[in-house]
Structure 1
């Protein structure tokens, strides 16, 4: 037999409001969830109401009683008796959600106190951040949407700038909340490109660079070469002389004032670790170098990378942070050209993202970088926007100055030859319009 109801609580008032006024059942079912009810009997009553609503059945006290059983008769009567009105059910629902959330937070706090290791504590902290994030469902009418559009048109859009003119001028439309992937094969320069982009973004955003492959010393060797124009080889060989230091010091003091960038030695970190630090330090943009090196619980690489991709995608959306993750591409496929009888490589496509197709699915933007001539490590890089949910796709050629660790757009009138690299004979991706001006020699 169902026990007597405790003193009046918001969760009882929500259910009582539905029984008094069944017309609000649909809104209630869309607003609250079963886990928002702390009382087990309330959960059963809500589940019965929800099932009746989904099946299109009539909802009133008699029908709900029939669904639950005769032992609920007194309980349903008490629900209606203790509910003064159905007019303010939304206030009851808001109070109920707050009570349920506080209960879950207290449970997580107890788990945090009982943690046996730092890793366990980080996992609980990540759950706490997730619990505290706004998960409210937003319903917007056409009139509300139009008003939102009018308000937005009166403000300047805050799109991210990468420091590469064709990307910034070509309306890549990258913003906070986006999950962006930059894929390349080993030793093409994706880390150097990411450092250059991070330094540029750090002038207007708070940036965190999570490096899972490169230590702090090597990272800042590259950073300082890029920022100051100092020869990277001389930095590595420790051959700097007295004439170098005034320029280096002046430029780095300038960067220390205007570039808001942290490098995090992220070796061994999980997505939860990255989430916790991102939220704690309130980054606007994070770089992850690189995605496949993030630690995960799954031993199978495919499952592990799938979960990592989904985790980074959720972090971007829930925390309203731009997540820019580097990713390894599969090894180049070499074939023999029928006409020239020479070995050629296919330019990479989205399907070359290693380990999991989930990366392609989760990403809002995917950029693929590769050598225009795979047999010449000094050849121009092709940076191809292969996926762009909010804009157009296309390619830009970049010249890489290894001595300064810098990428610059290649002048259109001086485009080098394509070299021994070909497009795949069969298209594997949907046709999209080119977002950039046509350049001679672009692959």
Structure 2
């Protein structure tokens, strides 16, 4: 297989000389060209475009000056437009030039990786997957414009489906009041749930995961902190309304055994997939989600938690690594057309203030989290800090960012002995 095509590069340059307006439509940059002379010619064409000068042979030769000999001389430049009299295939030729460039950069990266092979095979796998994603992202980025009619027809189809199926416009959470603020978790969104340790992040995530499973979604649950057995203990306790300690220690009453059996039966009917391998790289997570998406089109992803994900390669700082991870999670939501919900830790800065309610600046190793996230919800329990509070067992879900809706606070009851979250109005039901 050839990693370049001189003839195709000549066709692109010749088309621009024949039809100068094409320089304003091109998707290429000089680095896309393999031939050194072609890179010089195209670079000058782009500079002429910036100065709004017409791209024609005489001006181009004048701009090249002494370097005209390096590109093949005046005769070679003149031959470009003469050899390719048709510009109808310009877009096709452009695409070929770019594809050849992507092949070359991929091979170069593989050679560099070969020369500096990591000692750890997992790091090697992460590097290879990262390279694959970079090239894949560039290929997918070529979508271009779509007429509004097409988008409107899709919108009508979606609205009809929602009307017929009675479905919400996104994945519902366990909180009715929270759904009213966020508008549910939409497809292609990154949603961050953040809190200090021991406030209830993991329990909240598990409640929402089983809610999504009960609503018919396929759930991908990545637990980088706790093993599967501990998650199952908590999920069974919440579903069966059983004291979590009794489930953990296998000390169940007769009534609790009945509810345990019912809880297991209910969970078994849900389409939930758990990955509890620690130290997962973002590349491994993206690969696993893509694989699941192929078999189950309607998925939702939960991750516990963001700061435990490994970037898969070396970064100048931890903040840059976390920023790369949050950006990758957002891309994962887009490419798999699904909501992604990631837990995040908050810094100790919360503890230094009189009002302990979290703020954006409390996001630990925030990087680009605030920028990438579509929604950011903080969990806050007043009884965590104030034993005399009137809000015993009340958790505040503080929606601090909502790209497509409002912000505000929704209160829920935290039934801690079960690890269960319920709406305020249903706490006695």
Question: Structure 1 residues 176, 40: closer, same or farther in 2, change over 3 A?
Answer: farther
Q: 2:307 aligns with which of 286, 292, 306?
A: 292
Structure 1 residue 412: deviation in Å?
Answer: 9.4
Contact 1:126 1:273 in 2 (8 A): no
What residue number does 2:81 align with? 80
What residue number does 1:236 align with? 248
What residue number does 1:404 align with? 418
Contact 2:172 2:184 in 1 (8 A): no
Contact 2:173 2:184 in 1 (8 A): no
Whole-angstrom CA distance in 2 between matches of 1:175 and 1:42: 46
Contact 1:180 1:323 in 2 (8 A): yes
Whole-angstrom CA distance in 2 between matches of 1:113 and 1:198: 41
Contact 1:313 1:362 in 2 (8 A): yes
Give the number of the structure with larger relative contact order, counting CA–CA contacts within 8 Å between residues 6 or more apart. Answer: 2
Task: Report the RMSD for the aligned CA atoms in angstroms.
Answer: 3.0
Whole-angstrom CA distance in 1 between matches of 2:25 and 2:262: 62
Residue 268 of structure 1 aligns to a residue whose secondary structure is coil
Q: Deviations over 1:403-443 (max 9, x none)?
A: 221100112999xxxxxxxxxxxxxxxxxxxxxxxxxxxxx
Q: Please, which runs of 5 or more residues in structure 1 have no aligned partner?
A: 1-5, 336-343, 415-443
Q: Please, which runs of 5 or more residues in structure 2 have no aligned partner?
A: 163-168
Question: Structure 1 residues 399, 98: closer, same or farther in 2, change over 3 A?
Answer: same
What residue number does 1:27 align with? 25
Question: Structure 1 residues 255, 333: closer, same or farther in 2, change over 3 A?
Answer: closer
Structure 1 residue 26: deviation in Å?
Answer: 0.2
Structure 1 residue 132: deviation in Å?
Answer: 2.4
Residue 222 of structure 2 aligns to a residue whose secondary structure is strand
What residue number does 1:136 align with? 142
Question: Structure 1 residues 33, 161: closer, same or farther in 2, change over 3 A?
Answer: farther
**More helix by proportion, 1 or 2?**
2
What residue number does 1:362 align with? 372
Whole-angstrom CA distance in 2 between matches of 1:378 and 1:311: 38
Whole-angstrom CA distance in 2 between matches of 1:53 and 1:18: 11
Question: Structure 1 residues 126, 58: closer, same or farther in 2, change over 3 A?
Answer: same
Structure 1 residue 60: deviation in Å?
Answer: 1.2
- Does residue 67 (structure 1) correspond to residue 63 (structure 2)? The answer is yes
TM-score, scaled relative to structure 1: 0.79
> Structure 1 residues 44-53 or 152-161, which shifts more?
152-161
Q: Deviations over 1:106-138 (max 9, x none)?
A: 566777888662321222123213322411152
Q: 1:48 aligns with which of 32, 39, 44?
A: 44
Question: Structure 1 residues 329, 171: closer, same or farther in 2, change over 3 A?
Answer: closer
What residue number does 2:267 align with? 255
Q: How many residues align?
A: 395
Structure 1 residue 185: deviation in Å?
Answer: 1.2
TM-score, scaled relative to structure 2: 0.81
What residue number does 1:97 align with? 98
